Amino acid sequence: MFTSSAFSQTDNLNSWYQYTVSAKLNEKWSATALSQYRSYDVVKDGRLFLVSGYLERNFKNGISPAAGYMFLILEPYTDVMEKKIRYENRPYQQLTIRNKMGNVSVMHRYRAEERFLTNPDDFILRLRYLISLKFPLYKNDGTEVLYGIFKNEIRMNVVKDEQFDSNRITAGLGINLGKNSSLELGFINQVGADDTANYTVVSFKNNFDFSKNND
């Protein structure tokens, strides 16, 4: 198992585990919460832990503005191969546009986030653009069972000596386990200003629709 080096590093193996729960509250509003853990190896060598949640306003044209908050514990290695702990408070605002091209679901997400970091104290305003494609691969009796995923996200710092933060490419497969749950397995390649990191990804999702109960 690979442990990171300090500068210009290439991480050959990192793990990324995520749980997401989304709920449609009514025809206009939905809420999402997630937790995520990343490690430099399979599990033990922690790299990052976060919890996040946001509230989203849904319009009929597929446009959804949202606002949320994220708390992170970062565990980067220093140049002498020692870890330090950094905490981050991150409010953010985003705009999501959803549509379809044939049987492919397309999502564009524009996000602005205000990053308040400790050890050392720092503030970074960062902009992100994500395009996500989801396409069916296998159906059983008209129900989607297996689907493919492709994503690309670029992240840029607004006021910083190095404006480019990173570019993240994701490819994977998803399996619908039932009406409200899915499991996604994938691979992420993230190219930063000073390093490159590769992740294997395991993501579990729950989706609920409470709007029917409100009708």
User: pLDDT tens, 114-140?
Assistant: 999 999 999 999 999 999 999 999 999
CA terminus-to-terminus distance, the chain: 52
Q: What pLDDT is recorded for position 62?
A: 94
Q: Looking at the predicted structure, is the pLDDT value of residue 215 above 60?
A: no
The two tokens of residue 101 are 């091209």
Q: Looking at the predicted structure, is the pLDDT value of residue 213 above 80?
A: no
54-65 residues labelled b (16+ CB within 10 A) or e (exposed)? bebebeeeeebe
Q: Is 211 helix (H, G, I), strand (E, B) or coil?
A: helix
- Please state which of the ranges 6-20, 95-109, 129-143, 175-189 shows the lowest mean pLDDT: 6-20
Q: What pLDDT is recorded for position 106?
A: 98
The DSSP code for 83 is B
The DSSP code for 213 is H
In the chain the domains, ranked by start, together with CATH numbers, are 10-206 (2.40.128.130)
- Whose tokens are 């992740």? That residue is 199
Q: Is 158 helix (H, G, I), strand (E, B) or coil?
A: coil
pTM score: 0.90
